[in-house]
Structure 1
Amino acid sequence: MKTEAQSFQPAFYVPQYLASAGVEVVPVPVYYPDATHILGLQVYRKLTDIPGEIDMVNVFRRAQDIPPHIADILAKRPRSVWFQSGIRNAAAAETFARAGIKVVQDLCLMVEHRNALRRR
Structure 2
Amino acid sequence: MSMLDRRDAAALIAVEMTQYRAARRDGDHPAAWNAIGRAHIVAQPFFALHLSAHWHMLGFAIALRDGREVAGQLLRLALVPLGSLTGRLPVGNTGRARISAFRPMPVPPDLAKMISPHDKPVSR
User: Could you state the TM-score of these two structures normalised by the residue count of structure 1?
Assistant: 0.32
The structure richer in strand per residue is: 1
TM-score by length of 2: 0.31
Q: Which has the higher contact order (CA 8 A, sep 6+)?
A: 2
Higher helix share: 2
